Amino acid sequence: MSAALTGIPAKPRRPWLIAGWALVTGIVVLAFWSIDIDWSRLADLPAEIVRYTFLMFADPNWEKLPEALWQTWRSIEMAWVGTILGILLATPLSLLAARGFGPAWLRALLRGLFSLIRAVPEIIIAIVILSVTGLTPFTGALALAINGIGTLGKWGYEAVEAVPRGPIEAARAAGGGTLQVLRWGVWPQAEPAFWSFWLYRFEINVRSSAVLGLIGVGGIGDMLTSYTQYREWSTVGVLLIVVVVVTMLIDAASGAIRRRIMEGARARVLA
């Protein structure tokens, strides 16, 4: 019985969608099989993990703890400076990239810039700029700041476009210009989201600063690379313990602050 007689609409055919999925699947399969992997060594992986875990954590070299804490603090400083610079650069750009506050050509240009920056890892940005600034923590901070423009800019204009339009229209009806509309119609509603994004970006930068140490810009990552190359596994274990504990503490504190900003203070129930 035909669909016209039964009243049931025919199932839509999407040949281009099927062809697209087939193409993606084929690319993934080809990329997977083109990787030169010695599959026979996978059986040795669990034993190797256990062996290196024992080397690192059976007898950690706690004498390196003060130096590890100092280098971790340098990584946090790098992340903090990178976050502040990223906020100062990305916030005005995100406002201009929001629909209704910037010309169409500028919005397209800024959104393309944000996408381009997000596509480049921090370590690549650091390698590019270290020829000017040298192997210093400031190089890592600049790399984190530049990379933060991509994420903070995108989050920013999305937050601005998501606010209710009522206060914006009221500010415009009262004769306010673009700056007044942003100040009184947008910012009071978008401010909690912006603070949440900034704190979350700081969490990301703390983890990324350890990775940037791999190229020698300082911090705990630089120390971790050096002791790994010399196979001093007892010291590497101490460094990993410090990195994990400090990162978890920062994530927990930042997460609690973000929840307080977004949800407000919880009312106490009095008996």
Distance CA 201, CA 207 (A): 10
SS3 135: coil
Q: Give SS3 for 270.
A: coil
For residue 85, what pLDDT is reported? 94
Asked, for residue 21, whether it belongs to a domain, the answer is no
Distances (CA, A) of 142 to 9, 106, 117, 149, 179: 57, 24, 13, 11, 29
User: What are the structure tokens assigned to 224, written together?
Assistant: 């971790």
Is 17 part of a structural domain of the chain?
A: no
Domain, as residue range, for 196? 64-263
Q: In this structure, is residue 237 part of a structural domain?
A: yes
* The pLDDT of residue 115 is above 50: yes
Residue 32 resides in a domain: no
Quote the number of domains for the chain.
Answer: 1
Look at residue 223 and tell me whether its pLDDT is greater than 70.
yes
Which amino acid is it at 119? A
Distance (Å, whole) CA 205 – CA 140: 10
Q: Which of 9-13, 92-96, 164-168, 253-257 has the highest mean pLDDT?
A: 92-96
The pTM of this model reads 0.78
> Long-range contact list for 35-38, CB < 8 A, 24+ apart?
none
Integer Cα distance of 147 and 200 in angstroms: 14
Q: What's 184's domain CATH number? A: 1.10.3720.10
Strands (DSSP E) contained in 30-169 are: none
Asked if residue 19 is part of any domain, the answer here is no
- Burial (Cβ within 10 Å: 0-12, 13-18, ≥19) of residue 236: buried
**Secondary-structure percent of the chain, ordered helix, strand, coil, rounded to 5:** 80, 0, 20
Residue 220 CB-half CA count within 13 A: 29
**Residue 12 counted as domain residue:** no
76 three-state secondary structure? helix
pLDDT category at 8 given cuts 50, 70, 90 is: low
Average pLDDT over residues 111-138: 86
**Any idea which residue has 């983890």 for tokens?**
207
Tens-digit pLDDT profile for residues 186-197 = 888 888 889 988
Q: Residue 41 carries which DSSP code?
A: G
Do the domain assignments include residue 187?
A: yes
pLDDT digits (tens, 9 = 90+) for 51-65: 888 888 888 888 888
59: tokens are 């007898």
Categorize the per-residue pLDDT at 5 as very low, low, confident or very high, splitting at 50, 70 and 90.
Answer: low
Q: How far apart (Å, rounded) are the C-alpha atoms in residues 194 and 263?
A: 14
Q: With contact defined as beta carbons under 8 Å apart, do 148 and 90 qualify?
A: yes
What is the per-residue pLDDT across 161-184, written as a single tens digit (0 to 9) for each?
A: 888 888 888 888 887 777 888 888
In a domain, 20, yes or no: no
Q: Which two tokens stand for residue 123?
A: 């370590």
